[in-house]
A and B are shown apart, each in its own frame.
Chain A
Amino acid sequence: MSDQTKNDNPESSELKNNPEQELSQWVDEHGDLLYRFARCRVNSHELAEDLVQITFISALKDWSRFRGESSAKTWLLSILRHKIIDHYRKKKPESLEDFPDGGEALTQAATEPTEMIQDAESVRLNPEEILEHEELRKTLRECLDKLPEKYRQIFVMRDIENESTEIICEKLGISVSNFSVMMYRARFQLKDCFIKNGFPSLN
């Protein structure tokens, strides 16, 4: 909970003289939040940890640019966001071979939509009710982990953070048609995964 409440430290002007000490304290206060943020966006915990570390080192180097106008949390998250995007930009485009099953299930799902909806009539998800359901997060994480990283990143930006299509394409340097194909595959695979995980029975 500490990362929610201690956004601004009243002593920050004093501590600004000692950035290492201040950042070290922020590792304790905001580390979990940053880690969770990264963990939802990449498929390995090691990579998430590395991205958080890179974020803190960057924050130290750019310390003079932190003016205390935004909260520490907001500042760190904005650095992390950029580091994650850099990570994806450096990666080569992913292909169906990156899927654990070589894309077989996905190709099938994409070409035979009828396969996915055996329980279609019973899937009437009520957002408020499901948000409270602990299983949702677990299922989302499991299902996201099955997506190739590039799809996951785009999906999270669009359908969880509600970033605009235009901005996502610009940030990631991809075309709208490329985006469209990846979102389509990501959404259908996630939907299929949620249904397989028993979400139709929620109602």
Chain B
Amino acid sequence: MITCEEASSLLSDRFDVPLSPMKLLLLRSHLMMCRKCAAIAQQLQSLRKIFLGLETASSHDEISMPVETKKRIQQALREQ
């Protein structure tokens, strides 16, 4: 059996690297017995899906660079 902490770490790892069959088995059996970790697994999955969709939508973001900064950069370009 693995602890909740070990399971949490594997829940993150599985997005990034292939897990060994043994680790996968340990993780799956933990998730079958631990409702809390199973819920975390679902949250992490949902959040990852949402974040992955963010880059394409980033041009709708509302922040702008301050006008003074733009002027400062233009000034710096002239001084080069």
> What is the interface of chain A, defined by CB distance below 8 A to chain B?
3-4, 20, 23-24, 27-28, 31-37, 39-40, 49, 52-53, 56-57, 60-61, 110-111, 113-114, 116-117, 120-121, 123-125, 127, 130-131, 136-137, 140, 158-162, 165, 176, 179-180, 183-184, 187-188, 190-191, 194-195
Residue B44, interface by CB 8 Å: yes
A123:B43 contact, CB within 8 angstroms: yes
Q: Can you name 9 A-B pairs with beta carbons within 8 Å?
A: A24-B74, A111-B5, A113-B37, A114-B36, A120-B43, A136-B50, A137-B61, A158-B16, A184-B12
For chain B, what secondary structure do more than half of its interface residues adopt (helix, strand, loop), or is it mixed?
helix
Starting from the known contacts A35-B64, A56-B76, 18 additional A-B residue pairs (CB-CB under 8 Å) come to A40-B58, A49-B65, A49-B66, A57-B77, A57-B80, A110-B5, A113-B4, A120-B39, A125-B47, A125-B50, A131-B54, A140-B51, A158-B16, A162-B55, A180-B12, A184-B12, A184-B13, A190-B47
B15 — which chain A residues lie within 8 A by C-beta? 158-159, 183
